Structure 1
């Protein structure tokens, strides 16, 4: 067996049922009035972003519908997954992606780490989701009053290995240190942008899929006070 064939076999195995599961997962995917997605069609990045936006609007309005939490959904996912979005977010307990976007089981490939930073392990996890599970959207989600960013801005001395993730945020802090406004929120936004750049610089896989229009990479910020998630320019 050639190396190329071994790669293809491994890729197909990791997709965990791919096309068949995707069709089942997308059938009647979203509660009305959101338009249904054709069962045999991979949702476009634009469609996914619309679904995320409307889901967050329901969350903000306290009208969440909590889709994909049934026992039938659990059975459907028992043999595989095909999430529609990969989200790199902070490990902060106040930022659970499924709740913020009114999503359910199997909808989000979550990668969570303090400060939503890109480490080698984080990058590998994201590449797995984007390349092998073919998620159409990759979102880096920062949030208001992030403790990791706050520690970096204030130059806090911290015990143990906590300083490891602070070091990864410091370049973003330096980038906006002379900007007017709230220093921590400026750094939160700059850190989201920096982590996107790190992803694109370090991953050939993500760059190629982005260039081919197969994945859209977006930055966002979650407001702890309002519950709203805003896309960042």
Structure 2
């Protein structure tokens, strides 16, 4: 079993990552909540959403109604570069790029917060699938866009879109820590559960392959 999974990993043409608690050590929506002074109220909702207590869209709407961010608050957080990358991610990302594998980010977080970091990692903005916040002319929060990443099962739809876009030979892999990541299993060649920052029991139990360190994945790739 392990040999088969490792072969799929090494032959990957497309590698998709979740963002919160996967690429970064924390939750970007939690950081936004903290910046807006409502961190504790939002943390409980985030935890419940990641464990599947209610639909992701319901959770997102509830959390944003509490946070009620302004455009300037979002921009300020994005410019702070305050997100801590998970241990080993930079090395893994750079090796995947040297091997010409396409990297995508699929997140229930917010594009305004993710793209500045993705650009520093040399992952183009068009490879980031995430939620988009809608503000009025004064920069007050109004709503979020109706995108697949805003609803339960949406990451599965994003994977389908990525597969249409990427025609090169090779497997498609998704790596993530949450239940919304687990939903991609039926569409990818390999789902890898990630527990480097937080271990979600349902993800660990239902993942064919579960890792707690990106170095494990990096070490299995061919030398450049």
Question: Which one has more relative contact order, counting CA pairs under 8 Å at least 6 apart?
Answer: 2
Higher strand share: 2
Structure with the greater alpha carbon radius of gyration? 1
Q: TM-score, normalised by structure 1?
A: 0.29
Q: TM-score, normalised by structure 2?
A: 0.30
